[in-house]
Amino acid sequence: MPNEIKHSCVDCAVTLCDAHNPEKKFPPFCISRAMTEEQRDKSLKEYFTDPEDKKIIQVAATVESEGYRKWPRVQETILFAKRMGYKKIGIATCTALIKESRTLTKMLRANGFEVYGISCKAGEVPKTELGIPPMHHGPGHIACNPVLQAQLLEEEGTDLNIVMGLCVGHDILFNKHSHAPTTTLVVKDRVLMHNPAAALHHADGYYKNLCEDIGE
């Protein structure tokens, strides 16, 4: 644990940043106030030099404004994909969420998309081939293969990939190797019914122990 904490936005209670508004109070470490024009302009240039980035940020704004507190995430995803002009959607799914992925596929196809999904266990790679020791072969000896999921979806030429419940680490590898833009619809949490935010909401109760060093 570092001796000194460098404070940032996560240490600030101010939301809806308007750092140059003289009527609002901000902490001395305010990122917006300390930011240089060069730093800000560097990000803005990306939206105007990359047409896809510009379209994504603009379409995302339409979905947010029209569906705010009205549309569930799956509806937002469908409408975002439509407005982006995507035609083929890839699903990188955990085998434990095949049922949910089939339902998602039904919804996407009903909205005119071509859908192609790859399970995390596709290819049947034993964990021994990846150098995983026997003590960690549970709950099964076949490894998840998120890199293969990304590669097969790339071969299919998907316009957008949707992650459905890949494990921690496996989702990182998939996102790293996915060539198509990627969004997550379901985040796996085997204990909290795929709602990891519940542990944060109960950090002063059931999960108070997580606010301390839990070791390795």
With 80 as the cut, is the pLDDT of residue 72 above it? yes
User: What does the pLDDT average to over 103-114?
Assistant: 98
28-47 pLDDT, tens digit each: 999 988 899 999 999 999 99
pLDDT at 165: 98
pLDDT at 2: 57
Task: Identify the helix (H) or strand (E) that includes residue 136.
Answer: none
For the chain, list the domains and their CATH numbers.
Answer: 72-216 (3.40.50.1860)
User: What does the pLDDT average to over 166-186?
Assistant: 98
pLDDT confidence of 18, banded at 50, 70, 90? confident
Strand, helix or coil for residue 134: helix
φ/ψ bin of 46: left (φ > 0), alpha (ψ from -120 to 50), beta (otherwise):
alpha
pLDDT at 212: 94
Token digits of residue 135: 């003590």
pTM score? 0.93
pLDDT at 139: 86
Give me the half-sphere count of Cα atoms (radius 13 Å) on the Cβ side of residue 74.
Answer: 12
> Which of these, 215, 167, 196, lies nearest to 207 by C-alpha position?
196
pLDDT at 11: 93
Burial class from Cβ neighbours inside 10 Å (0-12, 13-18, 19+) for residue 93 reads buried
Token digits of residue 71: 């549309």
> Which of these, 68, 78, 53, 11, lies nearest to 181 by C-alpha position?
53
Average pLDDT, the chain: 94
Give CA–CA dist 62/60, Å, rounded: 5
Give CA–CA dist 71/111, Å, rounded: 16
